[in-house]
Amino acid sequence: MERVSVTMRALPCLCLLAASFGNAVADDAPHRDAAWIERLRRSQEALEWTDELVRHDWRLQHRPQDLPNGDACRILDPDDRAACTGSRRDCEAAFAALEQSGRVAQVRGHTVILLHGLGEGRDSMMPLAQHLRTALDATVLTFGYASVKADIDAHGRALDSVVSRLPHADTLSFVGHSLGNLVVRRWMALAAARDLARTRRMVMLGPPNQGSDLARMASRIWGLASLTGGASRDLVVDWPRIAPSLAVPGCDFGILAGGRGDDTGYSLLLEGDDDAVVRVAETRLPGARDFLVLPVHHAAMMRDAAVQRATAEFLQTGRFPELPRQPPRDPVAPPSTASGE
């Protein structure tokens, strides 16, 4: 199959920016610059493409902004390189050929699907995915979606496409971060009974289950609400309409919130305990089997060792671990990037 390059509209600008540092760095600067540009390219593309079919680290994606009239699709290999780009029909046929050739294996047994938050990409879930792959006897997949290019309903339907095309996955579990939890809840309202029946457990990390006061504050900033799109608009403007469309999980689910364990939290803007983005009270949802608060910032949850262990424990037993009483520790800080959460 001939490899087709992916269009990168921002790449010339990034190259110029990288070149501006050329005289001030060491001899290995070209390698560092190339890695930096690659990370930025992947971050940009994560906001534009949504998975429709996932087999381990192979995936077929579409561009939500091209719908309903366009059908631009691509296949990414395990190195996130485009193995094929073209129409949906062409990419579906190419993916089927990959499966028939044995290069892409079926997903079997218990399968855990991880979903990132608003303005993030699959890479943000990799620290947690790597931990779960060593801690669990399960296949761990990541689901990527263009959070700012389409609404929660569209993301839920894309997740349905991924799940419904995992026929050999005996049981399913989900781990969502922030907005990713709302995508799973929307999928649960749309899913076929057979897929809901094989759903085993779900861990919610920092979920805005009751909406977001921070988003509501943003909506009061003049002009900002009119500029929001995709799932961010669902949180900022349309939450009263969106909330009733989200199902309460019928499987066992646990909620892990970030917070200081007091009445102040990490944000001066929010009332009560919070993880600097989502209030602890906003994470709650009736029916949860377990609830845990850990001292961690919202954007850093996937890198926190205690969060990773607690997530694995709930997926295995349906309960979070009993943590010993200890003095509050400094929270894991969010990564120093320009990412959305």
What is residue 108's DSSP assignment?
-
Q: Which of 11-15, 57-61, 70-74, 196-200 has the lowest mean pLDDT?
A: 11-15
Three state DSSP letters for 138-200: CEEEEECCCCCCCCHHHHHHHHHHHHHCCCCCCEEEEEEECHHHHHHHHHHHHCCHHHHHCEE
55-91 pLDDT per residue, tens: 999 999 999 877 666 789 999 999 999 999 999 999 9
* Cβ atoms of residues 341 and 118 within 8 Å: yes
Predicted local distance difference test score (pLDDT) of residue 216: 73
Whether the predicted pLDDT of 6 surpasses 80: no
Q: How far apart are CA 284 and CA 287, in angstroms?
A: 9
Residue with structure tokens 């779960």?
132
CA angle at residue 168 from 163 to 183, to 5 degrees? 15
- Work out the burial of residue 263: count CB atoms within 10 Å of its CB; fewer than 13 is exposed, 13-18 middle, 19 or more buried: exposed
143-192 pLDDT per residue, tens: 999 998 899 999 999 999 999 999 999 999 999 999 999 999 999 999 99
Q: Which of 248-252, 294-298, 319-323 has the lowest mean pLDDT?
A: 319-323
* Cβ atoms of residues 241 and 213 within 8 Å: no
CA angle at residue 211 from 225 to 220, to 5 degrees? 30
* Cβ atoms of residues 297 and 332 within 8 Å: yes
Percent of the chain surpassing pLDDT 70: 76
pTM value > 0.75: yes
* Cβ atoms of residues 169 and 107 within 8 Å: yes
Whether the predicted pLDDT of 35 surpasses 90: no
* Cβ atoms of residues 331 and 296 within 8 Å: yes
Q: Grade residue 33 by pLDDT with cuts at 50, 70 and 90.
A: low
Whether the predicted pLDDT of 261 surpasses 50: yes
Q: What is the residue extent of each domain of the chain?
A: 49-105, 108-322
Predicted local distance difference test score (pLDDT) of residue 335: 55
- Would you state the CATH architecture of domain 108-322? 3-Layer(aba) Sandwich (3.40)
Predicted local distance difference test score (pLDDT) of residue 1: 42
215-238 pLDDT per residue, tens: 777 666 655 555 466 777 777 767
